[in-house]
A = this chain, B = another copy of it.
């Protein structure tokens, strides 16, 4: 099968290539300017608790859309799309353990599954780069550094646990701008949760991220921390649901929405 190498420029083009099995790579840089989403799929009996958890913790769990049980089309953010086929790669977890990585959900799908699309940091990263703030992990093509903090999320039903944050080194003179720019996007993680001291939020060693790659911090820079979309996955997994399906890391769902649609002002 021929695998496309050019980066698709529109959401519809990207999803069509994915559905046809011609694009199985990470979605970074795909359909620039359009919001991408984390996917979390859970059985209906956990849906109220998880929706409430997201509502109580909007910074790490910003909901873009919830697709009700039995439905697979995210009508609000990508009419015509099908969540079973339109992501490049999925992970299937049973009782909190990774069972398989799959290309589509044709076999796994059940009528009682509720799908959550959650905002992704690509949106505010684009906004920062558009404002002239360079992001080292993007420039180097590495994964952003992520850390488990001592900031507790607000529990809901069976879901609870610490917040996971991502860290980006920001030059001193651009910290205010970075706060301002990301504050415009509360639906996609929004303003930082912390600026400056890793120890203040329970991070012992900034050189040892819990997820992702190490990122160099220069003397002229401040580590700035944002709530991370890994949080809801980590929290959900902790409750060991009988079945949970997510996107594979970096293999996001590409919506028709523009990043700018999520700007509050």
Please give the residue numbers on chain A whose beta carbons come within 8 Å of chain B beta carbons, in ascending order: 47-48, 51-52, 55-56, 63, 66, 68, 76, 154, 156-157, 180, 183-184, 186, 190, 264-265
Contact = CB atoms under 8 A, between A and B. Distances in A.
Nearest to A75: B154
5 closest Cβ contacts across the A-B interface? A48-B48, A183-B265, A51-B51, A52-B66, A264-B264
A52 B52 contact: no
Contact of A47 (B48, B68, B186): B48
Nearest to A48: B48
A189 to B, nearest CB: 13
Q: Give the number of times this chain occurs in the complex, counting copies.
A: 2
Given A52-B68, A180-B265, A264-B264, 16 more contacts: A47-B48, A48-B48, A48-B51, A51-B51, A51-B52, A51-B55, A52-B66, A55-B55, A55-B63, A56-B76, A68-B157, A183-B264, A183-B265, A184-B265, A186-B264, A190-B264
Given A183-B264, A186-B264, A265-B183, A156 B68 contact: yes
Taking each of A52, A63, A154, A156, which has the highest tally of chain B beta carbons within 10 Å of its own beta carbon? A52
Contact of A55 (B66, B180, B184): B66
A51 B55 CA distance: 9
A55 B187 CA distance: 12
A246 B217 CA distance: 53
21 contacts: A47-B48, A48-B48, A48-B51, A51-B51, A51-B55, A52-B66, A52-B68, A55-B55, A55-B63, A56-B66, A56-B76, A68-B157, A76-B154, A180-B265, A183-B264, A183-B265, A184-B265, A186-B186, A186-B264, A190-B264, A265-B265
Contacts of A186: 186, 264
Nearest to A76: B154
Nearest to A154: B76
